Structure 1
Amino acid sequence: MRYFLFSLFTFTLLMSCVDKKEKAEKFLPDASGAINNVSVVTENEYWVGRVGEVIRQVLAQPIYGLPQDEPMFTISQIPPSVFSGFVTKNRTVLKVETNKPAGITFTENVYAKPQKVIVVSGKTKEEIIAVVKENEAKIIETFRNSELDERQRQMAKSPHKFNTIKEKLGLTLKFSSIYEQAKQEDNFFWFRKDITTGHSHIMLYELPFDALTRNDSTVSQIIKIRDSIGQAYFKGRLDGTVKANGETVSSFMVTESAYTPFFGETIVDNKPALVTKGLWELTNDFMGGPFINYMIEDKVNKRWVVVEGFIFAPSVEKRNYMLELESVIKSVKIE
């Protein structure tokens, strides 16, 4: 009986704490801020010194896979004395707390919702620097996942209605209704939307399970597959035109050979996935840009589900466009 009463008391206490937390979050203001913008709360003397330099090396490092260097995050430094009111509502916040034991905490919905707040502390500058360096990967992952979630949330306000995706491929993919269907042939889908100075694209298709083998040549296999898809479906403006000498021009999308693609592995919808990032170009033309390709291993259905995003956006930054495409890819749900 005593054990039962103790368990009941503990359960009631826990539920009370959860209820209080939910009520507190319910009255939090909506988070704000531009995509990929992190507020760093630290004293000016720390920001202009070694602490600020290390934070910038982590958060503003160049993104691999873009034709020009662009920082992973845009940083806004805010002194603690003015960190109040509206400025606390940014979705992603990194706070530096001095004269405290060295450590790092990851919290959410502290000042607004949805929000990620990371607090780095230390008694000395050296301790703070060490904590930032030791947790670099987790800091980036936390903020990046937050931005991917936010982009998905924004696009969910106006979802597409291409139900044939589920009918043909047995999966769902979330992107906004602003995308138009450029082509649909059997189990191949291509969607596009106009952006500031160009266009953004999503391609979706499936491959037999034996179309790709995991070995030392996996990257080469993926490049060969995507180039064959580019040749079949993504033609250049000059494709089919005839030169003065009577030669017919062949122009289609291929992977740029002068740029080594990034290759890695991740999890999408609880399934292994191969990630390739690099640059594409058109043969016999001057168009090109970045791409991100996910090949999802669907063992249940004995196939690979391929989702690729790529953009053509000359003269403008491409970071946020590519984040949107990655957020679309990571929304895949396979039945």
Structure 2
Amino acid sequence: MKKLIILSITTSFLVMLSCKDSGPKQRFLPPSTGGINSLMVVMDTELWQGGVGDRIREQFAAPVLGLPQGEPKFSITQIPPQVFKGAITYSRSVLFVEQDTLSLGHIKTDVYAKPQKIAVVKGETYNDLVGNIDSLAGIAISSFKKVEISEAQKRFTRSLNKEKAFEEEFGISLKVPSLYKVGKREKNFVWMDIQIPKGTMNIVAYTMPWNSFSNDSTFVNDIVKMRDSIGKKYVPGPYENTFMVTEKAFSPYIFPAQIGGKKAAEARGIWEISGYPMAGPFLTYIINDKENNRKLVLEGFTFAPSAEKRDYMFELEAILRTVKFNSGS
């Protein structure tokens, strides 16, 4: 009887194992490839050179907001469908456009590689294709940007700065590449920067009272006043009585955002040095940290004269988006 019980248990265990093994096996996907903010467009060259291609360029190569010179959202490479095979299919962000009797536009995830986003647009006529491109563009750009941010973060998190300035001053963690160094730290203000070939990339953090920016009608002006006062106090220019301010000619672009699991406002614009010809782009997040009765301000700005700045600012955004609020902070 005892032997029968043991045999029964053993048989049941083997059946369970065989059932587990017979399940669907996860398909191996190679790592995706490509430069940050690069987009592979797969479509017939004739379509690319015509009105459909023009619409794609209007949507996916539109200038990034808040940069001094026009730089496209994505660096686009176009290839015909017959070339899209082998290692080329591992591209991280892909837009596939095809003339077809079907009319559709959707996003596919991790088809040939991982992580990967493929936006597929099909249509029979010019109007079908252009209409589907316009309908899908916003979602596709957001999907591509998300996967590009993740890739940028993956690359720099291999070697992180171990300084505790942000944690000690604000109770937050921020994944900052190891080459960034703390250049200034005072009560309620931390500034880290890194030397780049033609200038610097910078991250600053400080807090504002919870009731700041309570008036919607003056929101943009209040952000400018805040930045200018912080610049005057903490960010000097090259000569005495020069300091960083928000460029007077144009108001910053403002967007709603979600940062570190909290509601925030995103501001993009141009900074300049009062009384001296220096300028560059900035990205500011004003985060509603209700638990700590404050607004946490994180900002990235770049000084890189005569250089393209899109990818510098993209890296700063990727860093700022790693913020986490420590429990009890």
> TM-score w.r.t. structure 2 length?
0.90
Query: How many Å separate the matches in 2 of 1:189 and 1:82?
Result: 50
Superimposed CA distance per residue, residues 270-305 of structure 1 (whole angstroms, 9 cap, x where no aligned partner): 211011111111112111101011100011111101
Contact 2:106 2:136 in 1 (8 A): no
Q: Given the alignment of the two structures, is residue 161 of structure 1 paired with residue 152 of structure 2, yes or no? A: no
Number of the residue aligned with 1:190: 191
CA displacement at 1:307 relative to structure 2: 0.2
CA displacement at 1:53 relative to structure 2: 0.9
Number of the residue aligned with 2:293: 302
Q: C-alpha root-mean-square deviation of aligned residues, in Å?
A: 1.6
Please identify the structure whose Cα radius of gyration is greater.
2
Please show how residues 268-283 of structure 1 align to structure 2 within 5 Å. 268-283=259-274
Superimposed CA distance per residue, residues 106-152 of structure 1 (whole angstroms, 9 cap, x where no aligned partner): 12221112211111112223211111111221111111111111111
Query: How many Å separate the matches in 2 of 1:189 and 1:60?
Result: 35
Superimposed CA distance per residue, residues 137-193 of structure 1 (whole angstroms, 9 cap, x where no aligned partner): 111111111111111111111111122322321111112011011111123110000
Q: Given the alignment of the two structures, is residue 252 of structure 1 paired with residue 243 of structure 2, yes or no? A: yes
Name the amino acid aligned to 1:273.
Answer: A
Number of the residue aligned with 1:324: 315
Number of the residue aligned with 2:78: 77
Contact 2:68 2:281 in 1 (8 A): yes
Q: Given the alignment of the two structures, is residue 204 of structure 1 paired with residue 211 of structure 2, yes or no? A: no
Residue 94 of structure 1: SS of its match in structure 2?
Answer: strand
Structure 1 ranges of 4+ moved more than 6 A: none
Query: How many Å separate the matches in 2 of 1:330 and 1:214?
Result: 26
Query: How many Å separate the matches in 2 of 1:99 and 1:278?
Result: 42
Query: How many Å separate the matches in 1 of 2:253 and 2:101?
Result: 39
Q: Given the alignment of the two structures, is residue 45 of structure 1 paired with residue 46 of structure 2, yes or no? A: yes
Number of the residue aligned with 2:228: 227
Structure 1's 171 and 183: CA in aligned 2 closer, same or farther, altered over 3 A?
A: same
Query: How many Å separate the matches in 2 of 1:266 and 1:180?
Result: 27
CA displacement at 1:212 relative to structure 2: 2.6
CA displacement at 1:100 relative to structure 2: 4.1
Query: How many Å separate the matches in 2 of 1:272 and 1:134?
Result: 27
Residue 135 of structure 1: SS of its match in structure 2?
Answer: helix
Query: How many Å separate the matches in 1 of 2:56 and 2:157?
Result: 33
Contact 1:152 1:175 in 2 (8 A): no
Name the amino acid aligned to 2:254.
Answer: F
Name the amino acid aligned to 2:209.
Answer: P
Contact 1:297 1:305 in 2 (8 A): yes
Query: How many Å separate the matches in 2 of 1:128 and 1:179?
Result: 45
Query: How many Å separate the matches in 1 of 2:101 and 2:35?
Result: 31
Query: How many Å separate the matches in 1 of 2:23 and 2:292?
Result: 45
Residue 228 of structure 1: SS of its match in structure 2?
Answer: helix
Residue 217 of structure 2: SS of its match in structure 1?
Answer: coil
Q: Name stretches of at least 5 consecutive residues in structure 1 with no aligned partner.
A: 1-11, 240-249
Contact 2:204 2:300 in 1 (8 A): yes
Name the amino acid aligned to 2:282.
Answer: F
Contact 2:44 2:98 in 1 (8 A): no
Q: How many aligned residue pairs are there?
A: 307
Query: How many Å separate the matches in 2 of 1:290 and 1:120?
Result: 34
Number of the residue aligned with 1:32: 33
Q: Name stretches of at least 5 consecutive residues in structure 2 with no aligned partner.
A: 1-18
Query: How many Å separate the matches in 1 of 2:48 and 2:212?
Result: 51
Superimposed CA distance per residue, residues 232-287 of structure 1 (whole angstroms, 9 cap, x where no aligned partner): 11111112xxxxxxxxxx10000010122101111112211011111111112111
> TM-score w.r.t. structure 1 length?
0.88
Greater CA drift, 153-162 or 92-101:
92-101
Residue 276 of structure 2: SS of its match in structure 1?
Answer: coil
Number of the residue aligned with 2:15: none
Name the amino acid aligned to 1:181.
Answer: V
CA displacement at 1:331 relative to structure 2: 1.2
Residue 160 of structure 1: SS of its match in structure 2?
Answer: coil
